[in-house]
Amino acid sequence: MVGAPLVGALRPEKESIAMFLPSHVIVRVPATSANLGPGFDCLGLALKLYTTFEVELLPGDMAHDCEPLVEISSAWGDDPAINALPVDHRNLFYQTLARRLADLAVPVPAMKVRASLGIPPGRGLGSSATAVIGGLLAAEAIAGRTPSEKQRASLVNAAVALEHGSHSDNVAAALLGGLVVTTWDERNDSWYAVHAPLPADLCAVLFVPVFPMDTIAGRELLPGQYTKADAVHNLGHVALLLAALAVGDLQGIGAAMNDRFHEPYRARIFPQLPGLLAAARSAGAHGACLSGSGSAILALTTERTQEVASALAQAARSLNIDGRVVIAGLDHCGATVESDHCGPRVEISTSSREEIVLRCAACNRRFSLERTAYRCTCGQPLDVALDDVGTARNGDALRRCFDERLSSLDALDRSGVWRFRELLLPLPGVEPITRPEGQTNLYPAGRAQQSNGHGHVGEFTGLDRLWLKHEGENPTGSFKDRGMTVGVSIARWLGAGAVACASTGNTSASMAAYAAQAGLRAIVLLPEGKVAAGKLSQAIAYGAEIRQVAGDFDRAMADVERVCLDEGIYLLNSLNPFRILGQQSLAFELLQQFAWGVPDWIVLPAGNLGNTSALGMGLLRARQLGLIDRLPRIASVQAAGANPFYQSYLEGFTALHPVKAQTIATAINIGDPVSYLRAKSVIQATNGLVAQVTDDEILQAKAVIDRVGIGCEPASAASVAGVKQLVSRGVIQPTERVVAVLTGNLLKDPGAIMLAHQASRQTLTGASL
């Protein structure tokens, strides 16, 4: 979309070129392992070891007079194979970049390249492929092109053509990530590349010898012809390997990784190979093989990763071979590109990835989308700036598109989050981790709505038209799944290996479930003794690593931010702007359920204030996009024992004074909310308000919601308790249309059920006296 006009603009004269070029392009390319044993020249697997190329485009004329053109650094110390790499225009990265720009009819600008090698050359880990894919994608970025996911797959052709060796396996995996099968498709005269599924917990252990092996010399060892028996053997083994990986048959993987095409011949110049492979297998690797044409060795593991690593190190010592053992996760995203652009590009209003940035609502500073510290340098949380996304389409077209998806069977359309994907995440290459979530019921429960037993909630609150939006019907039982599907998808897209959050319970349950689905490690920090049983059980069951914090949620929140920054873990609290983005879908889905009409009020419980912020931001964007023509008022309800937002509201939002929180509604037992500023502007922009309710009022409301057969956890009942209070104070009129959001499921907090029951009996007894 952006590409075409920019390439055009690049051509005519030099002055305009300088205006349009980015000043930096950074391409990060994963290492890859080809063959996996039997898949000679057709299988490639991307690994979480990266080489990064940073291109600095220099002002001035088009000649490159800067020496050396390529500056190389490496995590591998003094390696002769690295020292031998050319640093002038013969460098493979630079050559590929220049050739691709020539193909695109774009002149080669002056530049300086810095390459940080995560893998040494000549070890069969795709180091040439990193240079080719790096050069190719850097050229695309310089030419102003952002290939879509589909276009990326078709770039395999260009990459193979640029990589003189005509090997598609490494380049395809480096470009696309994951396990990629490539083959020449003679019918269409092009390379065909397709992803194959992998078990989520599969890990790679590498042994990287100090000596390289020359790919070309290695090929010369291979026979010119193979017997039919060998061909059938390898064919069957590739098929078995792909099937075993797809269904997670770990034994099958081991049986399949047996090759007759190249390993036996290469072992002749690498006599220690069989001993190293045997050591990895007997320590518990599911399979082990020569990586590409060597010299590295690849072992695939799930649980016994550490043991396999030690066994390889020990075998290398006893076989007298020097080298390093590396444990690497699998890369599922392929190469990533980051570039900055100057003025004119920003003015081209589209919804492509380049225009989307993280922005500080307080001071307006902007940061790259891939920043993982989610506070601005001024300390405030960052938001995804999507102001313009979708404005090109009018409200009618968007409504039609979303409504058509209601009858689709596609998992993304059925998700009450991804159904609205154009408004949430118009980023190419993000693979949604979805259950699907959302699509929760909106129960009519007002006195005038013929809602049978549910109407008791209307009687309790004094409202004729009341709806309960039950977010406890999400896959893990709370509204958190809406933000988590987006947050975890982004974590994967960014290549995170682990995710973490602090939580009063629901966030941790949700994160643990989505992280398990995505194959990511999950770490949760919980305030000790303050998390309801249902939620803690979920986090344990879904396999999260639990760290109990001696203190309250606010302390756990402060700890987790530090842990994430220190340990390079991806943070998934609502401080993360992608969580807030996903939670905006509550607004879109609710409006769709109202046939794009607007209720008068939306009332919801408030703790860390992420949900209040997300709901408000979603509503404001819905109005801006023409999906609705007016805004409902938002009422945020806090527990009286955890009410810093309420107190600030009473003081005209002049400041926030954190409190020591104490409420029976453990989910909202929060004294220092992270999203205060976001929520404050939402309340102001929607002419909303903040209320507080006592624990007793919460329990009574819960008893009514439970008793009509709907049920919710205590924090959720704060919304209905708030509605009742606002009606009795005359703030909400009995005839107004009100939605109360129930945020969590009844089973989350079994301990509160009897308490609510008792509270309602006491009220009844009191009333009858």
71-79, 192-200, 501-509, 541-549 -> range binding ligand F0G (CB under 6 A): 501-509
The answer to whether residues 283 and 304 touch, using CB atoms and an 8 Å cutoff, is yes
User: Per CB under 6 A, does 506 bind ligand F0G?
Assistant: yes
In the DSSP assignment, the letter for residue 215 is: H
Q: Based on CB atoms, which residue is closest to ligand F0G, 259 or 471?
A: 471
Q: What span, in angstroms and rounded, lies between the C-alpha atoms of 591 and 585?
A: 10
Between 331 and 749, name the residue whose CB sits nearer to ligand F0G. 749
Residue 481 CB, nearest distance to ligand F0G (Å)?
11
- Which of these ranges, 133-141, 355-363, 396-404, 708-716, lies near ligand F0G under the rule CB under 6 A? 708-716
Binding ligand F0G by CB under 6 A: which of 32, 52, 608, 760?
608
Kindly write out the interface string for residues 283-302 of this chain, putting x where it contacts ligand F0G by CB under 6 A and - elsewhere. Answer: --------------------
Contact 208, 123 (CB under 8 A): yes
Encode 500-511: b = buried (16+ Cβ within 10 Å), e = exposed: bbbbbbbbbbbb
Nearest approach in angstroms of CB 463 to ligand F0G is: 21
Nearer to ligand F0G, 240 or 384 (CB): 384
Choose, by CB under 6 A, the member of 127, 305, 643, 716 that binds ligand F0G: 716
User: What Å distances lie between residue 405 and 9, 119, 249, CA to CA?
Assistant: 38, 45, 36
Applying CB under 6 A, the span of 9-17, 103-111, 147-155, 607-615 interacting with ligand F0G comes to 607-615
Q: What percent of the residues of the chain are helix, what percent strand, and what percent coil, each to the nearest 5?
A: 45, 20, 35
| Selected binder of ligand F0G within 44, 178, 605, 618 (CB under 6 A) | 605
21/667 with CB nearer ligand F0G: 667
The token pair at 39 is: 């898949």
Which stretch, 11-19, 53-61, 376-384, 599-607, contacts ligand F0G (CB under 6 A)? 599-607
Q: Are strands 287-290 and 297-301 parallel, antiparallel or unpaired?
A: antiparallel
Distances in Å between the Cα of 754 and the Cα atoms of 140, 506, 719, 743, 750 are 63, 21, 20, 20, 8
Tell me how far, at minimum, the Cβ of 421 lies from ligand F0G, in Å. 22
Least separation in angstroms between CB 608 and ligand F0G: 3
When the beta carbons of 156 and 424 are compared against ligand F0G, the nearer one is 424
Q: Which of residues 465-484 bind ligand F0G (CB under 6 A)?
A: 478, 480
Q: How far apart are CA 242 and CA 114, in angstroms?
A: 37
Instruction: Determine if 686 is a binding residue for ligand F0G (CB under 6 A).
Output: no
Q: How far is the CB of 536 from ligand F0G (least distance, A)?
A: 11
The CB-of-545 to ligand F0G minimum distance in angstroms stands at 16
Q: Please give the C-alpha separations between residue 323 and each of 208, 212, 464, in angstroms, as whole numbers.
A: 5, 11, 75
SS3 256: helix
What is the three-class DSSP state of 686?
coil
What residues between 610 and 639 interact with ligand F0G by CB under 6 A?
610-612
Comparing CB distances to ligand F0G, the nearer of 45 and 509 is 509
Smallest gap from residue 691 Cβ to ligand F0G (A) = 14
Rounded to whole angstroms, the Cα distance separating 225 from 338 reads: 45
Spatial separation of the C-alpha atoms in residues 550 and 502, rounded to whole Å: 13
Nearest to 562 by CA among 419, 699, 373: 373
Q: CA triplet 157, 163, 165: central angle to 5 degrees?
A: 105
Rounded to whole angstroms, how far apart are CA atoms 319 and 490?
A: 43
CB of 760 to ligand F0G, least distance (A): 20
Q: How far apart, in whole angstroms, are the C-alpha atoms of residue 666 and residue 695?
A: 11
Instruction: For the CB of residue 288, give the shortest distance to ligand F0G in the complex, in Å.
Output: 42
User: 642's torsion region: left (phi>0), alpha (psi -120 to 50) or beta?
Assistant: beta
HSE-up of 471 (CA within 13 Å, CB side)?
Answer: 32
The only residue of 505, 577, 582, 632 in contact with ligand F0G, by rule CB under 6 A: 505
Q: What is the dihedral of CA 473, 479, 484, 486, to 10 degrees?
A: 90
Nearer to ligand F0G, 38 or 534 (CB): 534
Reduce the DSSP state of residue 326 to 3 states and report it. strand
479/601 with CB nearer ligand F0G = 479
Q: List the x/- string, 534-573, binding to ligand F0G by CB under 6 A.
A: ----------------------------------------
Is residue 720 within 8 Å of residue 454, measured between CB atoms?
no
Residues 6+ apart with CB under 8 A from 482: 416, 417, 437, 438, 471, 474, 582, 583, 585, 586
Beta bridge partners of 338: 26
Q: Which stretch binds ligand F0G (CB under 6 A): 291-299, 389-397, 407-415, 497-505?
A: 497-505
Q: Nearer to ligand F0G by C-beta: 133 or 609?
A: 609
Give the chain's length: 769
Tokens read off for 189: 């005269």
Task: Beginning with the edge strand found earlier in the chain, give each strand of the sheet holding 382-385 in spatial order.
Answer: 366-367, 357-360, 382-385
- Considering only residues 142 to 201 of the shown chain, the ones binding ligand F0G according to CB under 6 A are none
Site size toward ligand F0G (CB under 6 A) is 23
Q: Does residue 517 interact with ligand F0G by CB under 6 A?
A: no
Site string for ligand F0G, 422-461 (x = CB under 6 A): ----------------------------------------
Question: Among residue numbers 725 through 744, which ones bind ligand F0G (CB under 6 A)?
Answer: 743-744
- Choices 131-139, 213-221, 499-507, 690-698; region in contact with ligand F0G by CB under 6 A: 499-507
Indicate which single residue of 315, 606, 637, 701 sits in contact with ligand F0G (rule: CB under 6 A): 606
Residues near ligand F0G, by CB under 6 A: 478, 480, 503-507, 574, 605-612, 667-668, 713, 715-716, 743-744
